[in-house]
Amino acid sequence: MVCSPLLRLVIACACAAALTACTHPGHPLPAEMDVRTLDVGTYPVDRHHYDQNAGSNGGLLEAMRMSVAVVPSVRIDPKLDVGLESGADTEDDSGNYLADADKPVLDQYNLIGGFATVGADRGVPPGGTDPGPAATVVRNLVLRFPDANTAKRAASALETADFLVAPDQNQPLNLSRYPNADIHYRPGVPTVGAFLAHDEFVLAPYIQAPVADPAVLLNLVQQTFDAEIPVLDTFQPTPTPQVSTLQVDPDGLLARVLVTNRDNRTPDPINFAVYGPVALVSGADDEPTVQTAVGDAGVDAVALVDDGRVIRARDPAAATRLVGGLVGARTAGYVTAGPLGSPVPGVSCLQRGSRGVTTGPGPKYVCYLAYRRYVAEVSSDDDTDIRQKTAAQYALLANSM
For residue 382, how many C-alpha atoms fall within 13 Å in the half-sphere facing its CB? 5
Please classify residue 118 by burial: count the beta carbons closer than 10 Å to its beta carbon, then call 0-12 exposed, 13-18 middle and 19+ buried: buried
pLDDT tens for 133-189 read 999 999 999 999 999 999 999 999 999 999 999 999 999 999 999 999 999 999 999
The helix-helix angle for 287-297 and 316-329 (nearest 10°) equals 170
Given a cut of 90, whether residue 66 has pLDDT beyond it is yes
DSSP assignments along 346-366, one per residue: T-EEEEESSTT---SSS-SEE
Q: CB of 128 within 8 A of CB of 82? A: no
Q: How many CB atoms lie within 10 A of CB 274?
A: 25
- Residue from 365, 369, 358 nearest 337 by CA: 365
Residues 6+ apart with CB under 8 A from 26: 10, 11, 47, 398, 399, 400, 401
Q: Residue 380: enclosing H or E segment and its boundaries?
A: strand 374-380
pTM summary value:
0.89
Say how far apart CA 47 and CA 262 lie, in whole Å: 12
pLDDT tens for 23-64 read 334 445 556 899 999 999 999 999 999 999 998 999 999 999
| pLDDT recorded at residue 55 | 87
